[in-house]
């Protein structure tokens, strides 16, 4: 599986014309568009495979400089539409800057992929390089931005059980391997048609790259279990809706709070009338009370009255002041008898949203940076609330994209996971569906029910097998009441944590090192200006 036997003919003056020169750049951009199209809300997860097959054709045997440029085009084709929601209310400049930054990461990864295509069994090494690139993007800069991880587009795919085996890194690796393997299989078939030769080891390797991920996913199916190991709990997810879309949605902060209190009180009336089942506990979304109930007596009273009406512990998303110049994005466990009894402060806070790094530079892209007058500070404690005897792990909105956030809550005893979120800032964009898919993947990864209460939708109840049991519409008040299975066993992915990602990263580094050594040896053998080197 080396480029030595590549059957492509040398370019002629006719085939090297302008249309031919544009073919590969156009294919690179198209490969990125296919990756984007495989993400929700479209049920087209399988498009990721021809997307990577096409990217494999684009990068195979390319010089590194060309690979960087082609990778950048692919990254832009992927990230520009995927992250369009980031400019929903602040204009195109921040969106374009973020998409370009993420595309640069992909371009660097594609440079490495082109290098390892010179190795035997290159799809394996290339998939490892892509997964390493995702790991880097998820950590730097400013704590990383994992959005666009290939695993998050696979919430409905046949590969999803691999999340329970090795988490999102293994899921991404397997999908990318299968895509690159498809191109290698096609390339081998073309070689056979032009030469009549069948290099058995290479053909077997190409087939393995396609089949092993599929077989591994099928073999992992027994790890996906939605049985109730610890009984069940009846949970209510409240979606109160917001008075307006966009960044100013919480300009009427009292209206947002009143909406959620009102819908909770309505649920209490429905329970009394026998129209709804009495929940064991209630979940409100992130930012359901942007009025600090510790400082604002009116807000405290509104929350307390609603919680007393429903009569069960309720988790309230609030903004809590931390000193005179900083805030915390806090989830508060509110008891109907004792009031606030426990808190969880969001640990992964959003750069350029909840805090403003490099404010002077950011102002160059958008004056909206000055809307962030008081910055949020991250918490440090893992959030697991005891809600009427059920241990519920707390993962706030943006944190669902980070592997450690959900895993930590499960390791600290969480029998189910809650992801209170606020997507009102992003209007009716695809953002809420992309984030919902993350929660589906987390459900399978850790074998836990996941409940997602959102201010404006889409709220959802997800079973441990990743299926959505119930969901709300967008920008409409709702209350989802569902009985969910509780579980305490740990999946292999939960037990191993970052180990699969570390192993894949080491393989990627080894492949890149091997490719570098091979390239240096080839240069020595060619000698100066391509002449053969001295005999040894």
Dump pLDDT digits (tens) for 51-65.
999 999 999 999 999
Q: Would you place residue 46 in the very low, low, confident or very high pLDDT band (cuts 50, 70, 90)?
A: very high
Is 110 annotated in the active site? no
Collapsing DSSP to helix, strand or coil, 505 comes out as helix
Dump pLDDT digits (tens) for 97-156.
899 999 999 999 999 999 999 999 999 999 999 999 999 999 999 999 999 999 999 999
**Residue of 286, 333, 430, 501 marked active site:** 286
Is 483 annotated in the active site? no
Give mean pLDDT, residues 225-254.
Answer: 81
What tokens does 468 get?
């959505």
Give the pTM.
0.91
**Residue of 346, 354, 391, 501 marked active site:** 346
Q: Say if residue 533's pLDDT is above 60.
A: no
Closest to 28 measured CA to CA, from 110, 117, 150: 110
Distances in Å between the Cα of 186 and the Cα atoms of 15, 204, 307, 505, 524 are: 21, 13, 61, 27, 32
**Residue of 397, 399, 445, 501 marked active site:** 397
Distances in Å between the Cα of 499 and the Cα atoms of 137, 166, 494 are: 18, 8, 10
Quick one: pLDDT at residue 371? Answer: 62
Q: How far is residue 151's CA from residue 171's CA, in Å, rounded to a whole number?
A: 6
Long-range own/partner contacts, residues 259-262 (CB < 8 A, 24 or more apart): 259/477, 260/284, 260/285, 260/288, 260/289, 260/306, 260/455, 261/302, 261/303, 261/305, 261/306, 262/306, 262/477
Burial 264-289 (b: 16+ CB within 10 A, else e): bbbbbeebeeeebebbbbbbbbbbbb
Is 286 annotated in the active site? yes
DSSP 277: P
What tokens does 526 get?
């060619």
Residue reference for tokens 């498009």:
47
Name the more confident of 79 and 360: 79
Quick one: pLDDT at residue 325? Answer: 72
Q: At what angle do helices 253-272 and 297-310 cross, to 10 degrees?
A: 20
Q: Which residues, in sequence order, are bridge partners of residue 289? A: 318
Name the more confident of 325 and 312: 312
Q: Say if residue 317's pLDDT is above 70.
A: yes
Q: How far is residue 131's CA from residue 356's CA, in Å, rounded to a whole number?
A: 29
Taking the alpha carbons at both ends of the chain, their separation in whole angstroms is: 27
Q: Would you place residue 261 in the very low, low, confident or very high pLDDT band (cuts 50, 70, 90)?
A: very high
Residue reference for tokens 């996913």:
217
Q: What are the backbone angles phi and psi of residue 345, rounded to the nearest 5°?
A: -100, 125
Q: Say if residue 190's pLDDT is above 70.
A: yes
Dump pLDDT digits (tens) for 457-488.
899 999 999 999 999 999 999 999 999 999 99
Are 502 and 246 within 8 A, CB to CB?
A: no
Q: How far is residue 428's CA from residue 432's CA, in Å, rounded to a whole number?
A: 8
């Amino acid at each position: 599986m080396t480029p030595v036997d590549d059957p492509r003919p040398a370019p002629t003056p006719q085939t090297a014309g302008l249309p031919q020169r544009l073919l590969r750049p156009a294919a690179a951009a198209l490969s990125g568009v296919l990756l984007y199209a495989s993400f929700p809300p479209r049920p087209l997860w399988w498009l990721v495979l021809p997307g990577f097959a096409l990217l494999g054709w684009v990068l195979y045997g390319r010089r590194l400089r060309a690979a960087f440029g082609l990778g950048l085009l692919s990254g832009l084709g992927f990230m520009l539409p995927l992250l369009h929601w980031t400019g929903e209310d602040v204009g195109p400049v921040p969106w374009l800057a973020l998409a370009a930054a993420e595309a640069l990461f992909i371009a660097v990864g594609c440079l490495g992929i082109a290098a390892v295509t010179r190795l035997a069994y290159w799809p394996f090494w290339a998939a490892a390089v892509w997964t390493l690139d995702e790991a880097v993007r998820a950590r730097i800069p400013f704590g990383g931005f994992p959005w666009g991880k290939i695993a998050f587009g696979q919430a409905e795919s046949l590969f999803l059980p691999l999340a329970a085996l090795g988490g999102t890194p293994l899921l991404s690796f397997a999908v990318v391997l299968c895509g690159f393997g498809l191109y290698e299989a096609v390339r081998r078939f073309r070689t056979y048609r032009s030469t009549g030769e069948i290099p058995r080891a290479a053909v077997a390797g190409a087939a393995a790259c396609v089949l092993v991920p599929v077989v591994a996913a099928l073999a992992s199916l027994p790890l996906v279990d939605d049985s109730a190991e610890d009984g069940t709990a009846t949970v209510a997810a409240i979606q109160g809706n917001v008075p307006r879309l966009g960044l100013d949605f919480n300009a009427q902060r009292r209206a947002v709070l009143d909406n959620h209190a009102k819908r909770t009180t309505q649920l209490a009336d429905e329970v009394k009338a026998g129209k709804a089942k009495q929940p064991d506990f209630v979940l409100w979304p992130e930012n359901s009370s942007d009025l600090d109930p510790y400082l604002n007596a009116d807000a405290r009273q509104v929350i307390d009255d609603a919680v007393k009406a429903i009569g069960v512990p309720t988790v309230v998303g609030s903004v809590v002041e931390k000193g005179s110049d900083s805030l915390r994005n806090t989830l508060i466990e509110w008891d109907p008898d004792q009031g606030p009894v426990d808190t969880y402060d969001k640990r992964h806070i959003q750069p350029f949203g909840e805090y403003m790094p490099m404010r002077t530079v950011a102002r160059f892209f958008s004056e909206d940076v000055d809307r962030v007058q008081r910055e949020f500070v991250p918490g440090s404690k893992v959030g697991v609330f005891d809600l009427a005897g059920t241990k519920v792990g707390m993962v706030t909105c943006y944190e669902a994209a980070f592997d450690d956030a959900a895993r930590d809550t499960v390791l600290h005893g969480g029998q189910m996971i809650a992801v209170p979120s606020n997507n009102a800032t992003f209007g009716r964009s695809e953002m809420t569906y992309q984030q919902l898919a993350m929660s589906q993947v987390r459900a399978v990864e850790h074998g836990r029910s996941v409940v997602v209460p959102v201010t404006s939708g889409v709220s959802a109840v997800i079973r441990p097998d990743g299926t959505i049991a119930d969901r709300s519409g967008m920008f409409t008040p709702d209350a989802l009441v569902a009985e969910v299975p509780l579980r305490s066993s740990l999946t292999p992915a939960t037990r191993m944590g970052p180990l699969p990602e570390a192993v894949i990263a080491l393989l990627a580094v080894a492949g890149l090192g091997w490719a570098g050594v091979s390239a240096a040896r080839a240069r020595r053998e060619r000698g100066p200006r391509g002449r053969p080197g001295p005999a040894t």
